[in-house]
Amino acid sequence: MKSTKTTENSETDFSGNANEFINKVKENPLLWTNKIIVVEGNVTHANNKSLTLNNLIFCQYEKSEKTVPLNKIIKIKGRFIGYDDLMAEVKLDKCIFQN
């Protein structure tokens, strides 16, 4: 039986700041589909199911988490699932916090 791949044990395809990643996605969003991303950014919205970094990267948690304070700089790891060009928003799921 094959073990389930989790975000935590997946190799990272990109690691950097949120604005840098947004610029890369705008160049070619399809290139990033299902890639594992680690981004650092400013929390601009948060609840126990998701958060938003820099008003442009929506991160849905892998499992419910405590709410993160606004304006805190954090690093998060997740899977890229798409780019909404109308809202200019990157979408990540299966997100976990990084130290």
Helix, coil or strand: residue 25: helix
**Does a structural domain hold residue 3?**
no
Q: Mean pLDDT score of the chain, rounded to an integer?
A: 92
Both structure tokens of 98: 């990084």
Q: Does some domain include residue 4?
A: no
Examine residue 31 and state whether it is found in any structural domain, yes or no. yes
As for how many domains the chain has, the answer is: 1
37 within some domain: yes
- Yes or no: say if 82 and 91 are a contact pair by the CB < 8 Å rule: yes
DSSP 8-state class, residue 12: P
Distances (CA, A) of 79 to 68, 69, 93: 20, 23, 5
**pLDDT surpassing 80 at residue 47:** yes
Helices (H), 1-99: 18-27
Domain range for residue 25? 14-65+75-98
The answer to the question of residue 93 being in a domain is yes
- The H or E element spanning position 90 is strand 89-98
Instruction: Compute the average pLDDT of residues 63-87.
Output: 93
Let me know how long the chain is.
99
Residues of the chain with pLDDT > 70, as a percent, come to: 94
Q: Is residue 34 part of a domain?
A: yes
- Identify residue 46 by its one-letter amino acid code: A
**pTM score:** 0.89
Phi, psi angles (nearest 5°) of residue 62 = -65, -40
